[in-house]
Chains A and B, each alone.
Chain A
Amino acid sequence: MEPIYLDYAATTPVRDEVRAAMAPYLTETFGNASSIHRWGRAAGDALQQARARVAAALGAEPSEVRFVRGGTESDNLALLGWRRAVAADGALPTLAVSAVEHHAVLDAATSTVEDGTARVDVIDVSPEGELDTDRLRHSLASGPALASIMWVNNETGMVLPVAGVVELAGEAGAAVHSDAAQAIGKVPVDLRRVSVDLLSATGHKIYGPKGTGLLFVREGTLLAPLLHGGGQERGLRPGTEDVAGAVGLATAIELAVEELQEEAARLTELRKRLQTALLSTIEGIRVHACGAERAPHVLSVGIEGLPDGSALLMALDLEGVAVSGGSACMSGATKASHVMLALYGPDDARATVRYSLGRGSTASDVDRAARATAEVVERMRAA
């Protein structure tokens, strides 16, 4: 039997249209976008077109789109770049981050505490997707502050109330960053309607190339670069531009936004089908963030009576079902996820499985995955 890939939230294959769009910029149109000559102009023109396409897809101005080298870099630039830019005022700035942020945000924030350059408040999130707004309001009230609240949580698919955060921050005069890596192409992200100041996205979650990403920087937002060198990306991200990557990212975003409605409806149906199958065949199973609004592509469940969540993922892999627990980590060993800790507390002993659906997913895939899960769970409980 063919193995089944249900880990699209971890990464996706580059789609044909993206690869085709990129190809010329790897070979014939290879110039350095900053060069004066025709090679340079051709590359520079492609880069600006890519920027305009990204801006149009997200409801931004081209001048507000900075290309960076991935989601992690984008998050770091947002938090640390903002912190650097406001530090000049003298007051200790505040970073208010939700407890379920990606480690790229959480660890960037923590690093500022370690070097004493910012204060960090971690804002609780309920399993229903509600932020502790009292805490957030309090946190943003004193001195310069940036709230960093992700648009869609990567481990559970939970949609966070970014629009509400923008409103609340507006009252306090604080800035808002949102990591939208899992949101683009899954839920509407329109920067004219939700006026965050900073927004991060990456190519490889939406069938674009790995190592590509962007940071949206709303006109007038304070931000300083973290790297130094040439003046590329308006000085915010020096380094010779990855034109092929930018073209790939732009194509991927354009297609993701164009196909959003249809694909989201299809994935929602598949996710419901998977959820029904799992709930009807496995005792002691819980859907994570069940009461929250959820993005269509993620289904995270917690299964009782299995002391070892990592063994469950390995067993599923051996049965040909590729899924995740939470975030993947360097050595491949797994530990309790900070998201599950934040949502359900430290005494909640369940094995977590995250199924994430994508363009290649079919009804037969989710049926087989549900069957395999039930079989493996039964075997593990008997062991």
Chain B
Amino acid sequence: MSRVLVAMSGGVDSSLAAALLAEAGHEVVGVTMKTFCYSETKAHSNTCCGLDGIADAKRVAAAIGIPHYVFDVEEAFTRDVIDDFVSEYAQGRTPNPCVRCNGNTKFRDLMARGRALGCDLIASGHYARVRHDSGGSAILRGADRAKDQAYFLWGLPADLVPRLLFPLGELTKEQVRAHARLLGLVTADKPESQEICFVPTGDYRDLLRRRLGAHPALEPGAIVRLDGEVVGEHDGYAGFTVGQRKGLGGGSSEPLFVLEIRPETRAVVVGRREELLRDEVVVGELNWLDDPPRPGSRVDVQLRYRAPTAQATVRTVEEGLTLVLDEPRPAVTPGQSAVVFAADRLRGGGRIERAGSAMREAAATK
């Protein structure tokens, strides 16, 4: 059997992934990534990657009899994930740090150090499947559709896919917990991590304040309608994301949503739900796990984690990916991912640069 490097966060999923690989007879090497300076933050016990996470991962590794190491990736993580997170919010966009970490930091580091450690295979506790056959290797959605995490993996280096293993891909969360309990893993009943690992308090604006200092993104600005009518004031556009429902007291009886953030004027534009719909998506920073789609071809695209897949036609690829959605979708948000699938197979993706509306433009020219 081959030597497998498994990323262990100290949570139940990666704990069981490691245990299953060991059960299957692989020579398993557990690693936990140390991603940021823990002394900077106080309350960190509920996030997956804190020092407690390292301690839990070590306990699990010892219990299943595998070596465990800590990879210090703090420098790369700060540069590629935290700095990017802050800069995206400063530009009025909504970043996806977990996607960024998987694509830029975590799996690239696992691949490089895995080679150094003589590990042929790289594994993690993601709810996704990977298929290796004569046609090559591909990442597929996890069998548990409620937990499926293929969305987070579009940024992985394509040459890593043939060496990937996702031991939990066929399992549901319930099955994972049950099996972890059966094996007596100390992490079996550990609660899910909900927060971003480097924002353990859940208040990302606090992080922005510390990193940005005085910045327009954190200063008051106007809340406006599309026609320019000012309907209120906000305390910094970095606190908003497109699609967020903005309950405005007084003036308006209808529910309003954030349509757009305009950093140049610090305005947060709000409107009715139907004004939120977009059917054209421009995507940058592309990464393909197989051949890029051709212009004119049909693809499935997922625009938010847990959002249903949308059908789309590829308009352009070379000069930047532009997708035209069959049906307009709400809350297509700059900074979030556009993840391209062919049915269950993950093909790649990119970051949403902007979203347009053919319908709205048509209406405007009428």
**A318 near B29: Cβ-Cβ < 8 Å:** yes
CB interface residues, B 42-58, toward A, < 8 Å: 51, 54
Report the bound CA distance from A331 to B72 in whole Å: 10
**B116 near A312: Cβ-Cβ < 8 Å:** yes
Q: Which chain A residues border B71 with CB–CB below 8 Å?
A: 310, 333
**A310 near B118: Cβ-Cβ < 8 Å:** no
**B51 near A311: Cβ-Cβ < 8 Å:** no
CB interface residues, B 63-83, toward A, < 8 Å: 67, 69-72
**B54 near A331: Cβ-Cβ < 8 Å:** yes
CB distance from A336 to the nearest CB of B (A): 11
Q: Which chain B residues border A312 with CB–CB below 8 Å?
A: 116
Would you call B347 an interface residue if the criterion is a C-beta within 8 Å of the partner chain's C-beta atoms?
A: no
**B72 near A310: Cβ-Cβ < 8 Å:** yes
CB interface residues, A 281-325, toward B, < 8 Å: 308, 310-312, 314-315, 317-318
Q: Which chain B residues border A314 with CB–CB below 8 Å?
A: 29, 67, 69, 113, 116-117
Interface residue tally of chain B, by bracket? 10 to 19
**B72 near A318: Cβ-Cβ < 8 Å:** no
Would you call B115 an interface residue if the criterion is a C-beta within 8 Å of the partner chain's C-beta atoms?
A: yes
Report the bound CA distance from A318 to B115 in whole Å: 13
**A331 near B51: Cβ-Cβ < 8 Å:** yes
B68 closest partner in A (C-beta) = A332
**A315 near B116: Cβ-Cβ < 8 Å:** yes
Would you call A343 an interface residue if the criterion is a C-beta within 8 Å of the partner chain's C-beta atoms?
A: no
CB distance from A378 to the nearest CB of B (A): 11
Q: Which chain B residues border A332 with CB–CB below 8 Å?
A: 54, 69-70
Q: Which chain A residues border B115 with CB–CB below 8 Å?
A: 379-380, 383
**A380 near B70: Cβ-Cβ < 8 Å:** no
A311 closest partner in B (C-beta) = B116
Report the bound CA distance from A314 to B67 in whole Å: 9
Selected from A311, A335, A379, the residue in CB contact (under 8 A) with B113 is A311
Report the bound CA distance from A331 to B51 in whole Å: 8
**B116 near A380: Cβ-Cβ < 8 Å:** yes
Report the bound CA distance from A333 to B70 in whole Å: 5
Would you call A334 an interface residue if the criterion is a C-beta within 8 Å of the partner chain's C-beta atoms?
A: yes
- Contact (A308, B67) CB under 8 Å given A333-B72, A334-B72: no
CB distance from A282 to the nearest CB of B (A): 15
**B117 near A318: Cβ-Cβ < 8 Å:** yes
Q: Which chain A residues border B113 with CB–CB below 8 Å?
A: 308, 311, 314
Would you call B129 an interface residue if the criterion is a C-beta within 8 Å of the partner chain's C-beta atoms?
A: no
Report the bound CA distance from A249 to B116 in whole Å: 41
Q: Which chain B residues border A308 with CB–CB below 8 Å?
A: 112-113, 116
CB distance from B3 to the nearest CB of A (A): 8
Report the bound CA distance from A308 to B76 in whole Å: 13
Q: Which chain B residues border A315 with CB–CB below 8 Å?
A: 116-118
Q: Which chain B residues border A333 with CB–CB below 8 Å?
A: 34, 70-72
**B70 near A331: Cβ-Cβ < 8 Å:** yes
Selected from B29, B72, B112, the residue in CB contact (under 8 A) with A383 is B112
Q: Which chain A residues border B67 with CB–CB below 8 Å?
A: 314, 317-318
B29 closest partner in A (C-beta) = A318
A380 closest partner in B (C-beta) = B116
Q: Which chain A residues border B117 with CB–CB below 8 Å?
A: 311, 314-315, 318
A362-383 to B contact mask, C-beta < 8 Å, 1/0: 0000000000000010011001
Q: Which chain B residues border A310 with CB–CB below 8 Å?
A: 69, 71-72
CB interface residues, A 178-200, toward B, < 8 Å: none
Report the bound CA distance from A379 to B117 in whole Å: 9
Report the bound CA distance from A376 to B70 in whole Å: 19
Report the bound CA distance from A308 to B71 in whole Å: 10
A310 closest partner in B (C-beta) = B72
Report the bound CA distance from A317 to B71 in whole Å: 15
Q: Which chain A residues border B72 with CB–CB below 8 Å?
A: 310, 333-335
Report the bound CA distance from A380 to B67 in whole Å: 19
Report the bound CA distance from A311 to B117 in whole Å: 7
B58 closest partner in A (C-beta) = A332
CB distance from A194 to the nearest CB of B (A): 40
CB interface residues, B 9-33, toward A, < 8 Å: 29
A332-345 to B contact mask, C-beta < 8 Å, 1/0: 11110000000000
Report the bound CA distance from A332 to B3 in whole Å: 22
Report the bound CA distance from A383 to B116 in whole Å: 6
- Contact (A379, B116) CB under 8 Å given A318-B29, A331-B51: yes
Q: Which chain B residues border A318 with CB–CB below 8 Å?
A: 3, 29, 67, 117-118
B119 closest partner in A (C-beta) = A318
CB distance from A18 to the nearest CB of B (A): 27
A334 closest partner in B (C-beta) = B72
CB interface residues, B 96-126, toward A, < 8 Å: 112-113, 115-118
Report the bound CA distance from A236 to B290 in whole Å: 71
Q: Which chain B residues border A311 with CB–CB below 8 Å?
A: 113, 116-117
Report the bound CA distance from A311 to B29 in whole Å: 12
CB distance from B115 to the nearest CB of A (A): 4
CB distance from B157 to the nearest CB of A (A): 14
Q: Which chain B residues border A379 with CB–CB below 8 Å?
A: 115-116, 118
Q: Which chain B residues border A380 with CB–CB below 8 Å?
A: 115-116
CB distance from A374 to the nearest CB of B (A): 14
Report the bound CA distance from A239 to B297 in whole Å: 79
- In the complex, given contacts A314-B69, A334-B72, A379-B115, what are 10 additional A-B residue pairs having Cβ atoms less than 8 angstroms apart? A308-B112, A310-B69, A310-B72, A312-B116, A314-B116, A317-B69, A332-B69, A333-B70, A379-B116, A383-B116
Give residues in B with beta carbon < 8 Å to A.
3, 29, 34, 51, 54, 67, 69-72, 112-113, 115-118
Give residues in A with beta carbon < 8 Å to B.
308, 310-312, 314-315, 317-318, 331-335, 376, 379-380, 383
Q: 6 A-B pairs, CB-CB below 8 angstroms?
A: A315-B116, A318-B117, A331-B70, A333-B70, A379-B116, A379-B118
Q: Which 8 A-B pairs have the closest CB atoms?
A: A383-B115, A333-B72, A311-B116, A332-B70, A333-B70, A380-B116, A314-B69, A311-B113
